[in-house]
């Protein structure tokens, strides 16, 4: 049997609350957006798509090895943005400032190990961000665009990155439902 799965770094309860307040402010602008449930906001490190259930243990074992070389880190969640651009928002996100580049290094270590295991990895550069929502239509886009421009400089606080989580993703009419399969703590000296 196959499951949809991905690896991510989870945000803590305090940051979930902060980002829920940001979403509430953005919702007030009336744009047609499918908002990510605050408890589902995360930093994706790798999206597998469908994998066989038997692969879970191998992935977790190798991610434990990777995490043993990475120590927990603190980064800042700040600024709002959109892909492909603020003028043409399709995906709304909160930015992550990682002055030392440790998140990029962690994602690179994850990708190298997965490539070694035979998984296809993303070739585009990794740009850490937390997806808050995706536009459904152009309705209300101008008000949202202005709110995002004002939010470019906001600081939402520190985020303590403590681990890598393997999630199962089940698509439901109400939105994606994520189930933790394994939480792998960071505990290295790097």
Q: Name the active-site residue from 17, 29, 46, 129.
A: 129
Tokens 């000296």, located at residue: 189
| pTM of structure | 0.93
Q: Looking at residue 138, what is its pLDDT? A: 85
For residues 104 and 124, give the distance between their C-alpha atoms in angstroms, rounded to a whole number.
Answer: 12
**Sequence-separated (6 or more) residues with CB below 8 Å from residue 22:** 80, 94, 132, 151, 154, 156
Ramachandran angles phi, psi of 159, nearest 5°: -125, 125
Please report, for the chain, the start and end positions of each structural domain, with discontinuous segments joined by +.
2-185
Nearest to 18 by CA among 73, 105, 77: 77
Q: Looking at residue 189, what is its pLDDT? A: 66
Q: Locate the DSSP E strands across 11-88.
A: 33-35, 42-52, 73-84
Per-run averaged pLDDT (10 residues), the chain, 190 residues = 96 95 92 94 97 97 96 95 92 95 96 97 94 91 89 89 97 90 86
Q: Which residues pair with 68 in a beta bridge?
A: none
CATH T-level topology, domain 2-185: Cyclic Phosphodiesterase; Chain: A, (3.90.1140)
Q: Looking at residue 190, what is its pLDDT? A: 47
Q: Name the active-site residue from 42, 46, 127, 187.
A: 42
Q: Which residues pair with 175 in a beta bridge?
A: 172
129 is catalytic: yes
42 is catalytic: yes
């Amino acid at each position: 049997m196959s499951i949809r799965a991905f690896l991510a770094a989870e945000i803590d309860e305090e940051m979930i609350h902060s980002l829920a307040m940001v979403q509430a402010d953005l919702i007030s602008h009336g744009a047609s957006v499918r908002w990510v449930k605050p408890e589902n906001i995360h930093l994706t490190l790798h999206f597998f798509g469908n994998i066989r259930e038997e692969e879970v243990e191998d992935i977790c074992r190798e991610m434990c090895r990777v995490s043993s070389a990475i120590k927990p880190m603190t980064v800042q969640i700040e600024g709002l943005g959109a892909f492909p651009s603020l003028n043409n928002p399709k995906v709304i996100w909160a930015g992550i400032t990682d002055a030392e580049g440790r998140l990029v290094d962690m994602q690179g270590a994850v990708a190298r190990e997965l490539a070694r295991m035979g998984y296809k990895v993303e070739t585009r550069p990794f740009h850490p961000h937390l997806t808050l929502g995706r536009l459904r239509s152009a309705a209300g886009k101008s008000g949202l665009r202005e709110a995002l421009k004002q939010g470019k400089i906001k600081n939402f606080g520190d985020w303590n990155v403590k681990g890598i989580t393997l999630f199962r993703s089940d698509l439901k009419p109400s939105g994606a439902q994520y189930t933790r399969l394994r939480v792998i703590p960071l505990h290295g000296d790097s």
